[in-house]
Amino acid sequence: MINQINVGIIGTGWCGGIRANACADNPLVDKLYIAESNKERLQELKKSLKLESSTDNWNELIDNKNIDTIIISATPETTHFPMALAALKAGKNVFLEKPIATTLKEAEELIDISIKNNVKFTIGYSQRFNSKYAYVKKSLNENLIGEPVTCLVSRHVTRELGEKISGRTALSPAAMESTHDLDFLLWCLQPRKPIKVYSQTSGKLFSKNSNTPDHQWILVTLDDGMTISVGGGWILPLGYPNYSHTWIEVIGTDGSLFIDDSHKDVQLNTVKDGIRYPMSSMPGEPVEHTHAGPMHEETNHFVNAVALNKQVLVKPEEAKTVMELYIAADLSAETGEPVILPRNN
């Protein structure tokens, strides 16, 4: 007998919309509820999805005893902690988009309550569900390139996305963009731990109107002596809405692995818009009966983990380690000095 679950989604914009669609198609989800404060968006989803009910007040989902699982995809990022806290306290399983919280203390509180209430709790690090990225993990697990010596991930997204993100939060490119790549590399390279981080930002465009940098580089030393370099920028001109361009290098003692995730493989050229790169955003998009990109699969993984009582792939403690790392990177960028990890204070 399969155990179906009832899912409530708070915030159904870009990512929450993908998650709502994935849940609506998943036979392990019986009833689907949404909370969305934007009235137009709420109407749109009410028309396109079969919903048990919808509301503009997220607390109603928390109070609803029929809902066992909550997905939080609201913005700004300051909403994540109060929403996740309320959901976990109410004994619900929680999927929370990154970042896990805005302070380490909040992150710890969420983790503690999830353990106390024995519920599933995971953070949205969708790139772990990108098969090209999973291949890095596989090659390291199978020792295809020997001992890793250095890894690099360089990611750039469009300035529209950069403006959207930096317009709603003061969090850095490290916290909002490179967080995915820091999580991905630390996950692939487990059990190695970061011991030193140096970071620099640069900016000539966004800095005309705000304190927001255009780009941030992070250089991390791990406890076995290897280095990882992660760069995140958000000022590319539009190549497609939410276009993301990523290049990965993994160099080992017995080989190397280069991964092109620049999404140049699908090129649409029209007289009206010129060259565009469809299917090129980080979370992906629906394409007829399929879904390009990792977010759909990530959502199904979480639903399956709850319904079938399996482990979630992204442990919240790992998200806290990533947070410690990007906070240290931001401190290094601010002071111009390397930061030693773990930090005592």
Ligand X SMILES: NC(=O)c1ccc[n+]([C@@H]2O[C@H](COP(=O)([O-])OP(=O)(O)OC[C@H]3O[C@@H](n4cnc5c(N)ncnc54)[C@H](O)[C@@H]3O)[C@@H](O)[C@H]2O)c1
Give the binding site for ligand X (CB under 6 A).
10-16, 35-38, 41, 58, 73-75, 77, 79, 97-98, 124, 126, 282-283
Residue nearest ligand X (C-beta atom) = 13
| 114 vs 166 by CB, closer to ligand X | 166
Tokens 């396109």 found at: 48
CB of 159 to ligand X, least distance (A): 15
| 179 vs 339 by CB, closer to ligand X | 179
CB of 256 to ligand X, least distance (A): 27
Beta pairing class for 227-236 and 148-158: parallel
Q: Is 326 exposed, middle or buried (0-12, 13-18, 19+ CB in 10 A)?
A: buried
CB of 158 to ligand X, least distance (A): 12
The sign of the CA dihedral 322, 327, 330, 332 is negative
| 75 vs 150 by CB, closer to ligand X | 75
How far is it between the farthest Cα atoms of the chain?
60
CB of 80 to ligand X, least distance (A): 7
CB of 3 to ligand X, least distance (A): 27
**Cis-peptide into 148, omega within 30 deg:** no
| 38 vs 267 by CB, closer to ligand X | 38
The sign of the CA dihedral 280, 285, 291, 297 is positive
Closest CA to 313 of 291, 293, 298, 295: 298
The sign of the CA dihedral 305, 312, 128, 162 is positive
| 35 vs 188 by CB, closer to ligand X | 35
Beta pairing class for 29-35 and 5-10: parallel
CB of 234 to ligand X, least distance (A): 12
**Cis-peptide into 76, omega within 30 deg:** yes
| 41 vs 315 by CB, closer to ligand X | 41
Letter for the amino acid at 227? T
- Output the CA–CA distances (angstroms, integers) from residue 289 to 49, 112, 277, 286, in the order listed: 16, 40, 19, 7
CB of 270 to ligand X, least distance (A): 26
| 86 vs 341 by CB, closer to ligand X | 86
